[in-house]
Amino acid sequence: MVSPRGEVTPFASLFPVDEAHKAVKRVEEKIAEKQKEMDHLKEFIADNNSIINLVSKLPEELHHDIMVPFGKAAFFPGRLIHTNEFVVLLGEGYYAERTSKQTADILKRRGKALDSQVESLKANIKDLKAEASFFDTTASEAAEGLVEIREDYVDEDLGEEHFESAFQGKGESPGLNEKKHMVEEDDEYTRLMARLDELEREELAAENDDESIEDDPVANGALEDGNEQKEQSNTIESDTVNSEHFQNAISGDLLLYQTHSMQRKPQEQEKIEDVTAEALCNKYQSDLSLKDEQNRTGSTIQPLPKAENLSSKSSTHETKRHLHNEKASVLPEGKIEAMSSATQPVHMQSARPPSNSSKTEASQSGFDSSKAFTGSIVERSTDVLTAKSATLPPSDSQSKPSRPVSRFKMQRR
């Protein structure tokens, strides 16, 4: 939904109409010139051929009776003798005496040279014509007001891409942009993740009374297995698929956070959340719509990220409060723009929300950018789904690959 900043450039500005027209005219002029040259050459060739004919025919007779031109306007009858002797112009003022056959050969060679010249001219004209047509089309497009839209290639697709490549082992990213982006983001991401990791560990260490999940979950991020996820999912109330990795871990983490002292490092969390929340929300929105195919995983993830978004948003806005309250606070804040409808689900996941973002972050830290989101997306509770639907109707339910991906992205961001 939030589309990356894009620039809409009307074609007219890039290729001003009249300039395009002028260019077309220029090219057409050049084409005309070349055509003239071509005609010239063709004339030469025709002359050459006729001379060859004449030269071959003359020796057929010993002498020919002809009308000899005399001055500008007179002729007199005469005879053409020495019918086999020709003085041929070789070029540069040099002449040579040759027989008819030799002359014909010379002429033929000249003809060949002319032909090659004509060929090159033809190629030239073709290129010029192509150029002219291109200019023409651009001119017409500009006139019509076609617009060129350029958008920053935000890393929305990054996670996706990353996911894809990791998943399918594809090496190449859809676009150079993506790659670059990914690289940059990777750095940021890893840094962020590392940070989050640390924070998480501290948090985890701090909280001891929490029964459920803790242990390994997020921090490692090696969550491919369902174990942690299982536990986490338990707390999370989701129908999360255990095998799904991160998401579960993430949710677990979130839960952890909430149950334990979230206040631990509220500021840091918030900061991180702040940083990521916005981005997450934004990305999430856009991602969601995009990623459907990629993520084969469950659709629940979507609601989750949403909730996370919500929570992150709310947390950012009211971090401290949320942290303290853990639950309801998140809901009422409900400032999350898109997620207003999701507040209820947020409720459900209230435990999660505040920590969601942090958790996701933490889990993100665990998430190794090189690791693909291998599997299914955690399916959140239906509420989340409904909440989601508010924002992204199409995105919910199955295979919101975008979700998990976006999650990553968000987290990465």
* Binding region for other proteins (CB under 8 A): 87, 90-98, 106, 109-110, 113
Instruction: Give the separation between CA 86 and CA 10, rounded to whole angstroms.
Output: 68
In whole angstroms, the minimum distance from the beta carbon of 115 to other proteins comes to 14
CB closer to other proteins out of 75 and 95: 95
- Taking a C-beta distance cutoff of 8 angstroms, is the pair 190, 366 a contact? no
In whole angstroms, the minimum distance from the beta carbon of 146 to other proteins comes to 31
CB closer to other proteins out of 110 and 260: 110
Phi/psi for 401 (5° steps) reads -55, -35
Phi/psi for 10 (5° steps) reads -65, 140
CB closer to other proteins out of 91 and 393: 91
In whole angstroms, the minimum distance from the beta carbon of 72 to other proteins comes to 17
Instruction: Give the separation between CA 394 and CA 402, rounded to whole angstroms.
Output: 11
In whole angstroms, the minimum distance from the beta carbon of 108 to other proteins comes to 12
Would you call 96 helix, strand, or coil by DSSP?
strand
Which amino acid, 16? P
CB closer to other proteins out of 110 and 347: 110
Instruction: Give the separation between CA 191 and CA 171, rounded to whole angstroms.
Output: 23
As to burial, measured by CB atoms within 10 angstroms (0-12 exposed, 13-18 middle, 19+ buried), residue 359 is: buried
CB closer to other proteins out of 84 and 386: 84
CA end-to-end span of the chain: 17
DSSP secondary structure string, 245-291? -HHHHHHHHHHHHHHS-TTSSHHHHHHHHHHHHHHHHHHHHHHHHHT
In whole angstroms, the minimum distance from the beta carbon of 91 to other proteins comes to 4
In whole angstroms, the minimum distance from the beta carbon of 93 to other proteins comes to 4
Output Rg (C-alpha) for the chain, integer angstroms: 40
In whole angstroms, the minimum distance from the beta carbon of 58 to other proteins comes to 19
CB closer to other proteins out of 96 and 176: 96
Burial 231-251 (b: 16+ CB within 10 A, else e): bbbbbbbbebbbbbbbbbbbb
Would you call 68 helix, strand, or coil by DSSP?
strand
Instruction: Give the separation between CA 213 and CA 65, rounded to whole angstroms.
Output: 120
In whole angstroms, the minimum distance from the beta carbon of 75 to other proteins comes to 22
Please give the distance of CA 282 from its chain centroid, rounded to a whole number: 19
In whole angstroms, the minimum distance from the beta carbon of 96 to other proteins comes to 5
CB closer to other proteins out of 60 and 94: 94
In whole angstroms, the minimum distance from the beta carbon of 394 to other proteins comes to 50
In whole angstroms, the minimum distance from the beta carbon of 106 to other proteins comes to 6
Contacts of 57 (CB under 8 A, 6+ apart): none
CB closer to other proteins out of 76 and 94: 94
CB closer to other proteins out of 45 and 147: 45
Give whole-number Cα distances, 166 to 82, 162, 204, 374, in Å: 89, 6, 29, 8
Instruction: Give the separation between CA 363 and CA 365, rounded to whole angstroms.
Output: 5
CB closer to other proteins out of 102 and 234: 102
CB closer to other proteins out of 48 and 365: 48
